[in-house]
């Protein structure tokens, strides 16, 4: 049980240290994928559905499309019915990488906290079990001598 608790504690520490590595990897993969936007139709479709679902636009906002000299797609707009009417205020300004990063933090932080909590509970249980298993001292016997007068 103690070994398991130490393992969980190490896992929590590793997860905290790997967050930046994971973010770098996700950013790299998203960047590679975004380079094929407008070139490969399946990538374009995936990005469009991704942008609609998460209410985000491009890798780092609408400027991602401007740098590729592409028009901002409809999927970057919150209300796609009134697209032309409110184009400026309707645009999702947040980039998809920032949105993914926020989602990751939202779901990863509770997992890290739970890992540390479980580790603490296991260590506490191990200490309690060891305390219960230790030999109990023999009870002292007191002899009361009554004096006769």
Task: Convert the pLDDT of each residue in 86-98 to its tens digit.
Answer: 445 445 678 888 8
Side-chain half-sphere exposure of 100, counting CA atoms within 13 A? 22
- Label residues 14-35 b or e (16+ Cβ within 10 Å = b): ebeeeeeeeeeeeeeebeeebe
Q: What percent of the chain has pLDDT over 70?
A: 77
In CATH, what number is assigned to the domain containing residue 88?
Answer: 1.10.1450.10
3-state secondary structure of 142: coil
The pLDDT value given to residue 119: 79
Average model confidence (pLDDT) for the chain? 77
> Is 141 domain-assigned?
no
Indicate whether 134 belongs to any domain: no
Residue 53 has pLDDT above 60, yes or no: yes
Domains held by the chain: number: 1
Q: Tell whether 139 is covered by a domain.
A: no
Q: Is residue 58 a part of any domain in this protein?
A: yes
Q: In whole angstroms, give the CA distance from residue 37 to residue 45.
A: 9
Q: Which two tokens stand for residue 125?
A: 């249980």
In a domain, residue 148? The reply is: no
Return the percent helix, strand and coil in the chain, to nearest 5: 65, 0, 35
Prediction pTM value? 0.57
Q: Which domain holds residue 120?
A: 2-129
80 pLDDT more than 60: no
- Is position 85 within any domain? yes
Query: Under a CB-based contact definition with an 8 Å cutoff, are residues 75 and 46 in contact?
Result: no
């Amino acid at each position: 049980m103690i070994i398991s608790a130490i393992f969980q504690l190490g896992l929590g520490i590793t997860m905290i240290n790997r967050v930046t590595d994971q973010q770098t990897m996700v950013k790299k993969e998203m960047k590679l994928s975004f380079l094929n936007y407008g070139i490969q139709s399946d990538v374009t479709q995936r990005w469009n559905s991704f942008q609609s679902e998460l209410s985000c636009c491009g890798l780092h906002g609408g400027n991602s499309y401007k740098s590729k000299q592409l028009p901002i797609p409809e999927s970057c707009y919150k209300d796609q019915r009134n697209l032309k009417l409110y184009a400026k205020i309707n645009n999702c300004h947040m980039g998809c990488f920032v949105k993914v990063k926020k989602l990751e933090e939202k779901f990863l932080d509770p997992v890290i906290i739970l890992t540390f909590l479980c580790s603490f509970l296991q260590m506490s249980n191990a200490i309690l079990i060891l305390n219960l298993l230790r030999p109990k001292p023999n009870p002292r016997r007191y002899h009361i001598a009554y004096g006769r007068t």
